[in-house]
Amino acid sequence: MEDTLPQKLPVHLGIIMDGNGRWAKQRGLPRSAGHAAGASNFKKITRYCASIGIRYLTVYAFSTENWTRPAEEVSALMVLFRQYLDEALRDFRDDEIAVRFLGDTTAFPKKLQELIRETEELSAGRTGMQLNIAMNYGGRAELTHAFRTLARQVREGTLAPEDITEDMISSALYTAGQPDPDLIIRPSGEHRTSNFLLWQSAYAEYVIMDILWPDFRPEDLNAALWEYANRSRRFGGV
C-alpha cells in the first residue's frame, strides 16, 4: 500500500521537518551535518509532493524559537539556507513550483533576504504546487502580526471592532488566500504542534511518525497519506 496512493489526497499538506539534530547525534556527526541531510531530503520530498498532485505544501524550516540555539548552529543554518536558495534558483528554474516564505524574514542577513525576494519573484507566475517555507516563523507571532494589522485599521477608522470576522483574521495571516492545511505530518515522534500554523490547523489531521526527518522517504509520506485518507473528518460535527 505504501507504494500506491489513495484517491483522496490533502489539498494542503504541512510538514514539521524535525529530527535533524538527533539524526546527526546518532551518527556521531555535528548537528550541521543533520541539517544538511535534512535540506537535501526537503528537496526530494518537495518534488515528490508536486509530482503526486499536492496543491499546497507548507514546511517548517526555522522557527522564531530557533534563534535560542547555539550561535554556531544558527550560523551554520544561515549558510545552509543561502546555499539551498542559490541551488533552488538553479535547480527549480524549470519547475512549476511557486514559492512563498512565511515569517519575519527581515531578521535574516541581507544576502539571505535578497535571495528570498529573488526566489519569490522568479516563481510568482508559476501555476504548479505552492510551496510555503516557514522561516523565522511562529504561530503566535503570526497571529500577533495579523491582530496588529486589523488594530491599525480600527485606529484609522476603516474597520469597526464588531465587524472583525474569522475570514478577516485569515486574510491577515502569512497564508492569506490559501486553504487551511488538511494534514500535518510530524516526523521524529514528537507529539506537539511547536507553534506551527496555530490558527490554520484548527481542524487539520495530524500524523506523527517515529522517523527522523533526514530518513523520511516518499514511501513514508504515502503511508501518512493513506492514514489520512482512512480517517473521517467531521469538523466538529457528527
Q: Which residues are tagged catalytic?
A: 18, 66
Q: How far is CA 60 from CA 84, 152, 213, in A?
A: 15, 29, 11
Phi then psi for residue 14, to 5 deg, are: -115, 145
Which class for 73: exposed (0-12), middle (13-18), buried (19 or more C-beta within 10 A)? Answer: middle
Report the alpha-carbon angle 159-195-231, nearest 5. Answer: 100
Helix (H/G/I), strand (E/B), else coil: 14: strand
Cell of 75: 550560523
Helix (H/G/I), strand (E/B), else coil: 77: helix
